[in-house]
Amino acid sequence: MSEIYYAWVNEVAEGVLAVHPDKRFGLVAYGEVYDPPATVELNPHVIPFLTEDRMAWADQTVKEASQNKIIAWESAAGQIGWYDYMYGTPYALPRMYTDLMADNYRFAAEHKVTAQYSELYPNWGEGPKPWVSAKLQWNPNQDEEQLEQEWYGRAVGEEAAEHLEAYYAIWERFWTVDIPQSAWFHAWRNSPVRVDYLPFRDAGYLMLVDKADIEESRRLLELAVAKAQTDPQRTRANKLLRAFEYYEASALSFPSGSATPYPQSEVEALQLVEDGVTRLQYGERRLELVEEFKEDPVLVHALEPKLFSLVWSGWDGTVFKHLVDWLKQEPPQLGAVHLRVQELADSQQNSVSQFAKLLMAASSSALPENVNSSFETGDTGAPPWSFWIKSGGEIIRSDEHVQSGQYSLRITGLTRGGPVQKVHVEEGAYGTIAYVYMPGGSNSTGSVQISLNLLTSAGQVITSMNSPVTPLTEYAPGDWGVVQAVMDIPAQARGKEVDSVQLIIIVDGVAAEETIYLDDVQFFRLDG
């Protein structure tokens, strides 16, 4: 749309300038008007702001394509602005890339870029990042390393500064070296419809975190606290350590992915349980920290994780399935794993007890609240399930691959949609599991998510509750995996009584030639 849009922009500018000759016109070159017009030269008072997350310039392919686009814009505009996405919150790690940022600004200064607007939404645990950005925008030829060292020394004192510098170097390497090689980054880079910013709603980057980096980060920050000399320096060092607690809890609670092997002994199975408990506890702690930070003007999260469904259970689907399979073959009254899970289920009501209860329900003969959970009745459909297809693809009942029974759902080429069933609920905790299967050789960039639409007695949607999005790449092709979630359903939401839910297994982004399968979608009440 660039030819049409920018011709219109010129008309508007010329009309205004006839009366107000000193005005400037900023606009966002976004989406359908990101490309420079081929036949329109913009009025020199018009400044297009080109939208992009330029941390992605850590990838050479992205960098070259983006820089070529800016060079093309030089022929169409007298000045260029940058609209950047520098977040900040809601990322769950310090997103450091100051060396790359400096190179980007030097390129900008050479190619008519005169202004920047950024979605920073700061997380002040990122330390020098916003300050270095501001300094480099005034003068991109400054030495970014000297600027950082100045910030570290002013923040915590010269004796502690080296430890702060080493801490942030860990996360600069993570984002500019490790991330561009990751599946998380490649899924964004290779998407046929790529948004301008990296997928901050998907915390899959946390799967790349090395526990050793977390441990070293804590060590360095504690050294910075110990070596700070004055009260203000100690206060700042402690603030950065406290901000790190959120990063630490996020990384140590995030599901570990599909690489976890099936336990070969009772000891290994018990260790899976204890690892899950630890992750769940860290998951609770990270959300507690967000609440605590609301009272602190330095630590407050400008964008909270719950706004973007950046909440996870701690137990990934692979571990959950391993434990369900183990419990199914272990004697309930005698097995050590059963006894430990039951002990956790009987403990204080929290995420640990709820997931223990879901494990017990999923591995026993407990009846779910929904019906036809294994799609055993029906024809091409499976009543009372309905099949929501927002765009593209098909959902049909199939006997080709099953987790249990004789049927499952075959889903092919589904851009967005999934099976839907209405279930009556009462206030309390509910757990949902669904089995997912990708045939051998699959490498889908799609995803799956559990969603509950809360409904009034008249069937009106009040609001939605969603699990995190789980990329299909987390499931091993040729084997069944599990997506699971526990959600607390309120008696009221937005001032309306909750009567029932629409249970939806949302499947997103399955390519036209790809097929996945769903089976055993079970919705359990956990505290009834």
CATH code where residue 468 lies? 2.60.120.260
Are residue 18 and residue 155 in the same domain, yes or no? Answer: yes
- Nearest-10 crossing angle of helices 231-253, 144-156: 110
Domain membership of residue 248 (yes or no) is no
- pLDDT at site 26: 96
CB atoms within 10 A of CB 79: 17
The pLDDT of 54-71, averaged and rounded, is 97
| Number of domains, the chain | 3
Report the SS3 class of residue 365: coil
Domain membership of residue 337 (yes or no) is yes
Q: Point out the domain boundary residue: 363, 378, 402.
A: 363
- pLDDT at site 202: 87
Asked whether residue 385 carries a pLDDT value surpassing 90, the answer given is yes
Cβ 475 vs Cβ 491: under 8 Å:
no
Are residue 155 and residue 79 in the same domain, yes or no? Answer: yes
Domain membership of residue 195 (yes or no) is no
Are residue 347 and residue 438 in the same domain, yes or no? Answer: no
Residue 335 lies in domain: 255-363
Spatial distance between the Cα atoms of 384 and 263, rounded to a whole number of angstroms: 37
Asked whether residue 319 carries a pLDDT value surpassing 80, the answer given is yes
The pLDDT of 396-424, averaged and rounded, is 96
Domain membership of residue 189 (yes or no) is no
Are residue 144 and residue 11 in the same domain, yes or no? Answer: yes
Are residue 9 and residue 126 in the same domain, yes or no? Answer: yes
Spatial distance between the Cα atoms of 266 and 252, rounded to a whole number of angstroms: 24
The pLDDT of 451-456, averaged and rounded, is 96
Are residue 167 and residue 260 in the same domain, yes or no? Answer: no
Cβ 228 vs Cβ 156: under 8 Å:
yes
Q: In 72-184, at which residue ranges do the beta strands (DSSP E only) sit?
A: 80-85, 113-119
Asked whether residue 104 carries a pLDDT value surpassing 80, the answer given is yes
Asked whether residue 443 carries a pLDDT value surpassing 80, the answer given is no
Spatial distance between the Cα atoms of 237 and 289, rounded to a whole number of angstroms: 17
pLDDT band at 221 (very low <50, low <70, confident <90, very high): very high
CB atoms within 10 A of CB 488: 14
Spatial distance between the Cα atoms of 481 and 519, rounded to a whole number of angstroms: 10
Are residue 144 and residue 62 in the same domain, yes or no? Answer: yes
Are residue 355 and residue 398 in the same domain, yes or no? Answer: no
The candidate with the shortest Cα–Cα distance to 98, out of 127, 123, 78, 119, is 127
Spatial distance between the Cα atoms of 381 and 429, rounded to a whole number of angstroms: 29
Domain membership of residue 356 (yes or no) is yes
Q: How far is CA 210 from CA 3, 251, 490, 523, in A?
A: 48, 9, 37, 34
Domain membership of residue 37 (yes or no) is yes
- pLDDT at site 313: 77
Are residue 148 and residue 31 in the same domain, yes or no? Answer: yes
Backbone phi, psi, residue 418, to 5°: 155, 175
Beta bridge partners of residue 395, listed in sequence order: 411
The pLDDT of 432-451, averaged and rounded, is 86
Q: Point out the domain boundary residue: 179, 196, 229.
A: 179
Report the SS3 class of residue 274: helix
Report DSSP state, residue 21: T
The pLDDT of 425-440, averaged and rounded, is 94
Spatial distance between the Cα atoms of 417 and 449, rounded to a whole number of angstroms: 10
pLDDT digits (tens, 9 = 90+) for 231-246: 999 999 999 999 999 9
Asked whether residue 224 carries a pLDDT value surpassing 80, the answer given is yes
Domain membership of residue 460 (yes or no) is yes
Are residue 402 and residue 351 in the same domain, yes or no? Answer: no
Domain membership of residue 214 (yes or no) is no
Structural element, H or E, at residue 271: helix 266-293
Are residue 50 and residue 170 in the same domain, yes or no? Answer: yes
Q: Point out the domain boundary residue: 363, 394, 418.
A: 363
| Lowest mean per-residue pLDDT among 86-90, 138-142, 191-195, 398-402 | 191-195
Strands 515-525 and 428-437: antiparallel
- pLDDT at site 257: 66
Backbone phi, psi, residue 422, to 5°: -90, 135
Are residue 357 and residue 396 in the same domain, yes or no? Answer: no
Asked whether residue 258 carries a pLDDT value surpassing 70, the answer given is no
The pLDDT of 451-461, averaged and rounded, is 96
Asked whether residue 433 carries a pLDDT value surpassing 80, the answer given is yes
pLDDT band at 52 (very low <50, low <70, confident <90, very high): very high
Spatial distance between the Cα atoms of 279 and 106, rounded to a whole number of angstroms: 42
Instruction: Give the mean pLDDT of the chain.
Output: 94
Asked whether residue 513 carries a pLDDT value surpassing 90, the answer given is no
